[in-house]
Amino acid sequence: MNQIYWQNQLFTFLLYTEGKGLKKKILDCGAGGKTPPLGIFKNYGYETHGVDCSENALEKTAEFEKKHNLNLNIIKCDMRNLPYKDEEFSYAYSYNSIFHMSKEDIKSSIKEIHRVLTKGGYAFINFPSCNDERATVGKKVGEGEYLQVEFGEDVLHSYFDINEAEDNGFFEGFEVIMKENSIRNGIRQNGDKITKGYIDYILEKK
Amino acid sequence: MNQIYWQNQLFTFLLYTEGKGLKKKILDCGAGGKTPPLGIFKNYGYETHGVDCSENALEKTAEFEKKHNLNLNIIKCDMRNLPYKDEEFSYAYSYNSIFHMSKEDIKSSIKEIHRVLTKGGYAFINFPSCNDERATVGKKVGEGEYLQVEFGEDVLHSYFDINEAEDNGFFEGFEVIMKENSIRNGIRQNGDKITKGYIDYILEKK
């Protein structure tokens, strides 16, 4: 399957999961969309599962699965309340997805990820950072929480300070084993400059 | 070929080269080693070429090629003086390699990359940054240039300030179309903390 995935940080996560060597069973929280990154892990022999609450994202994934003759086991579900047993997964991630919630809901979702992970299992979570050019765009509804208009709809975005998540108990029961703080400057197709800021975490369940 | 590559930033470069759509012909400067990333591009149908000045790195690559029944066209050569014609390549990169030279030699090498690239072609280049924990380790031999002991030998490492390369003419004849400044905090196998700082550039030949 010669698909190109744009979610390049998940290749870093793949290195960690391959290095850890637990049972190859992985969960994606926010798994839908046109190029579902669970395909990367499927390609390396993982049993894949995913949840997404967006019908639209699920439809796009269904098209991808049909085109590539794959079944990634992605279901419609809210990541704050996962329909899986405790310690069912070796690995779990939420990539460019979890921050479309309030910080309180993000904390609940990370607790759920912690619950379904086995001891020693790894989680990958990323947030947009205070370095992002959109970090204060939109209607402020909480600390670092902004409603931003996307395709005519108000969409919640939570931005994090560099040490905010670990300092505020978001990773209770986890140890941070990798953290990357990156600022990416690019150019849009129309020539405008763009600055994206992200913080990626790889966590181990204690 | 289900090889895992650890050079995850090159997947970002792959997105750019696929998006650009020029002839699929790519050069790696510093191409040798155990897991030569030219394999990523070969896997997506690119004609690959590479140079490396280290016998040891070339031997490791030869083993990789034999194991995977591949020929990546990697030759022994100094990247400051490339044996290719002007404008022969659409894409070129030097990943985790070019900074093992003095800044003057790095500048010469980037000029060579510029020469062999076609107009509109893309280059990917990365440097360790001043944020790296080793940015001032070793014997200082120039501004940001340090001799560091690796496997009993003095190895030159050049570290860059965040805007140093673009401010000091390293990218003459290029436009910076993507720049990523990242700080990665990790944990070594022995439990020690480690901080790596990198600056990645994607450049377009003007």
Measured CB to CB, residues of chain A less than 8 Å from chain B are 2, 4-6, 8-9, 11-12, 14-15, 18, 43-44, 176-187
B126/B201 Cα distance (integer angstroms): 6
pLDDT of B107 strictly over 80: yes
Pairing of strands A89-94, A25-29: parallel
Instruction: Choose the closest CB to B11 out of A8, A18, A178.
Output: A8
The alpha-carbon gap from A196 to the nearest alpha carbon of chain B, in Å, equals 9
pLDDT at A6: 85
- In terms of CA atoms, which chain B residue is nearest residue A131? B181
Number of H helices, E strands in chain B: 5, 10
Helix (H) or strand (E) holding A119: strand A117-128
* Long-range Cβ contact pairs of B20-24 (< 8 A, separation 24 or more): B20/B90, B20/B91, B20/B120, B20/B122, B22/B90, B22/B91, B22/B118, B22/B120, B22/B121, B23/B90, B24/B90
Instruction: Determine the pLDDT at residue A44.
Output: 94
Residues of B with CB under 8 A from a CB of A: 2, 4-6, 8-9, 11-12, 14-15, 18, 43-44, 176-187
Which among B4, B176, B182 is the nearest to A182, CB-wise? B182
pTM for this predicted structure: 0.93
pLDDT of A189: 77
Q: Do B187 and A181 touch (CB under 8 A)?
A: no
Please compute the mean of the pLDDT values over residues A78-91 and round it to a whole number. 98
Contact A179 B187 (CB under 8 A): no
pLDDT for B2 beyond 90: no
Q: What is the pLDDT of residues A114-134, one digit of tens each?
A: 999 999 999 999 999 999 999
- Angle in degrees, CA B174, B179, B79, rounded to 5: 55
pLDDT above 70 covers what percent of chain B?
Answer: 99
**pLDDT at residue B151 above 90?**
no
Q: Could you tell me the pLDDT band of residue A188, with boundaries at 50, 70 and 90?
A: confident
Chain B positions in Cβ-Cβ contact with residue A18 (cut-off 8 Å): 4
- Report, as an integer, the average pLDDT of B150-175: 96
Say which amino acid occupies A51.
Answer: V
Contact between A68 and A3 under an 8 Å Cβ cutoff? The reply is: yes
Name the band, by pLDDT with cuts 50, 70 and 90, for residue A191: confident
Task: Name chain B contacts of A194, Cβ cutoff 8 Å.
Answer: none
C-beta of residue A112 within 8 angstroms of C-beta of residue A82: yes
Query: Tens of pLDDT along B11-60?
Result: 999 999 999 999 999 999 999 999 999 999 999 999 999 999 999 999 99
User: What average pLDDT is seen over chain A?
Assistant: 95
Among chain B residues, CA nearest to A185 = B179
List, as own/partner pairs, every contact residues B83-89 make where C-beta atoms lie below 8 angstroms and the sequence separation is at least 24, other chains included.
B83/B51, B84/B27, B84/B49, B84/B116, B85/B116, B86/B115, B86/B116, B87/B115, B87/B116, B87/B117, B87/B118, B87/B119, B87/B121, B88/B25, B88/B116, B88/B118, B89/B25, B89/B26, B89/B27, B89/B49, B89/B116, B89/B117, B89/B118, B89/B121
CA distance B146 to A103: 44
Question: Cβ contacts of residue B104 below 8 Å, gap of 6+?
Answer: none
Choice among A42-56, A187-201, B67-81 with the minimum mean pLDDT: A187-201
Q: What is the mean pLDDT of chain B?
A: 95
B21 CB-near residues (< 8 Å, 6+ apart): none
Q: How far is B83 from chain A (nearest CA, A)?
A: 31
Q: Determine the average pLDDT of the residues in A27-34.
A: 97
Any idea what DSSP says for residue A14? H
Work out how many CB contacts closer than 8 A connect A with B: 64
Q: Which residue of A has its CA nearest to B203?
A: A186
Please compute the mean of the pLDDT values over residues B49-78 and round it to a whole number: 96
- Between B183 and A2, the higher pLDDT residue: B183
pLDDT score, position A5: 87
Measure A181 CA to nearest chain B CA, in Å.
5
The structure tokens listed for A45 are 């022999």
In whole angstroms, what is the distance from residue A124 CA to residue A17 CA? 10
Q: Look at residue A78 and tell me whether its pLDDT is greater than 80.
A: yes
Q: What is the pLDDT of residue B193?
A: 93
Q: Which of B14, B43, B182 is the closest to A180 by Cβ?
A: B182
Q: How far is CA A93 from its chain centroid? A: 5
B2, B14, B44 member nearest A44 (Cβ)? B2
Could you tell me whether strands B153-158 and B145-150 are parallel, antiparallel, or unpaired per DSSP bridges?
Answer: antiparallel
By C-alpha distance, the chain A residue nearest B162 is: A183
pLDDT for A7-19, tens place per residue? 889 999 999 999 9
The pLDDT score that the predictor gives to residue B8 is: 87
Quote the pLDDT of residue A124.
98
Is residue B1 over pLDDT 70? no
Of A4, A14, A15, the CB nearest to B15: A4
* ipTM computed for the complex: 0.89
Are B4 and A15 a contacting pair at CB < 8 A? yes
- Does the pLDDT at position A1 exceed 60? no
Using CA atoms in the order A104, A108, A113, A119, what is the torsion angle rounded to 10 degrees? 110
Distance from CA of B137 to the nearest CA of A (A): 22
